[in-house]
């Protein structure tokens, strides 16, 4: 199967991203970073003293999927919920800077905006502080979110549902959202947290290996186990394609009832795996909507994720970076020496 990969066709798919618009639905996170250096240990406790040199904020969670879709050249709408707080205002400012329509962001006074603050020294994360809630949205906020989906779905070529377990995607809200997206003929790719049942009718699901075990309710110790787990997931979703990400081992693709296709990924120097899954589902969805096969989409996604893990922090990949990484990704998919 991998022998049919053609570099020029894959490059054409990447160039086609600029013609697409995706709708992303899910939990947004405000990722804050304190960047500094460590020169000594505190005299007050056995902990490093970080001399903070700069601070930065970026969109994380489903917001990082939005960042990746836009960085890859496509347009994007975003349906999410934020608190009526300063962190929520900052999320809206970051979305506006990306050109994302604010009408998809529902402000909820009763809940905080999810915020994760990381302290990074010499490219290593030292500690993280989380401010969040996992409670479901109030009924009025859930209705406003569904109304936003109705507004944006008619112009979407595809949708990505990104569940980080922060309450935006309660089961009832997801089921209603899936009905609306299906009514508009929008294919849906899902990155689920725990339960697949609300996502029945999705066209693709992308768990990592640990998530695939949990979702399928079985241990995965071999490729045969993985194929069995994927079949369970496909049946739960009504026949969706399953892409299981396996870190340095690449991806496993399942479209039928067979053993699947295993796609290798290039060896690379890894600085930070944070957000690589967001890059993967963004690139997978765009390549599929551009007309690529699942295999072609996986190779493009491997190239994009390879770019991102070579950066520190919540990062994205540009079309030029993906195009540069494609030859190595194609070679790895074909099992050629790397």
Question: Which residues are the active-site residues?
Answer: 278
> What is the helix, strand, coil percentage profile of the chain, to 5?
45, 25, 30
Say which residue the tokens 């079309």 belong to: 319
Contact 69, 22 (CB under 8 A): yes
Contact 21, 155 (CB under 8 A): yes
Would you list the DSSP string of 32-82? EEEEEEEEEE-SSSSSEEEEEEEEEEEEEEHHHHHHHHHHTT-EEEEEEEE
Chain centre distance of CA 198: 18
Contact 265, 259 (CB under 8 A): no
Distance CA 223, CA 208 (A): 14
Residue 289, burial from CB neighbour count under 10 angstroms (0-12, 13-18, 19+): buried
Query: Within 13 Å and on the Cβ side, how many CA atoms surround 65?
Result: 32
For the beta carbon of residue 266, count every other beta carbon within 10 angstroms. Answer: 18
Strand partners, 58: 31
Q: Which of 70, 82, 134, 89 is nearest to 113 (CA)?
A: 82
Q: Which of 170, 175, 178 is nearest to 139 (CA)?
A: 170
Torsions phi, psi of 202, nearest 5?
-65, 155
DSSP tag of 139: H
Q: Left (φ > 0), alpha (ψ -120 to 50) or beta: where does 155 sit?
A: alpha
DSSP tag of 36: E
């Amino acid at each position: 199967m991998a022998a049919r990969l053609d570099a020029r066709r894959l490059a054409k798919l990447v160039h086609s991203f600029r013609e697409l618009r995706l709708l992303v639905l899910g939990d947004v996170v405000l990722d804050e970073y304190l960047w500094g250096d460590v020169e000594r240990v505190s005299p007050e406790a056995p902990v490093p003293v970080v001399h903070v040199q700069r601070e930065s904020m970026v969109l994380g969670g489903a917001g990082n999927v939005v960042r990746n879709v836009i960085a890859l050249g496509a347009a994007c709408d975003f349906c999410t919920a934020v608190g009526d707080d300063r962190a929520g205002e900052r999320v809206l400012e970051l979305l506006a800077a990306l050109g994302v329509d604010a009408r998809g962001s529902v402000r909820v006074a009763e809940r905080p905006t999810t915020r994760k603050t990381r302290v990074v020294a010499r490219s290593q994360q030292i500690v993280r502080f989380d401010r969040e809630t996992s409670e479901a949205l109030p009924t009025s906020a859930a209705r406003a979110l569904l109304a936003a989906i109705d507004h944006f779905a008619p112009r979407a070529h595809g949708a990505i549902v990104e569940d980080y377990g922060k309450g935006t995607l309660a089961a009832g809200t997801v089921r209603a959202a899936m009905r609306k997206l299906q009514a508009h003929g929008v294919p849906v790719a899902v990155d689920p947290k725990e339960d697949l049942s609300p996502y029945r009718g999705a066209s693709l699901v992308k768990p990592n290996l640990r998530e695939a075990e949990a979702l399928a309710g079985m241990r995965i110790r071999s490729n045969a186990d993985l194929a069995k787990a994927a079949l369970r997931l496909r049946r739960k979703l009504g026949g969706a394609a399953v892409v299981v990400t396996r870190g340095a081992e690449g991806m496993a693709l399942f479209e039928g009832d067979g053993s699947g296709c295993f796609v290798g990924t290039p060896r690379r120097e890894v600085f930070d795996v944070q957000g690589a899954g967001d890059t993967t589902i963004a690139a997978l969805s765009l390549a599929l909507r551009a007309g690529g096969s699942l295999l072609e989409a996986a190779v493009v996604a491997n190239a994009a994720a390879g770019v991102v893990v070579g950066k520190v922090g919540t990062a994205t990949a540009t079309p030029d970076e993906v195009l540069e990484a494609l030859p190595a990704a194609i070679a790895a998919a074909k099992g050629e020496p790397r």
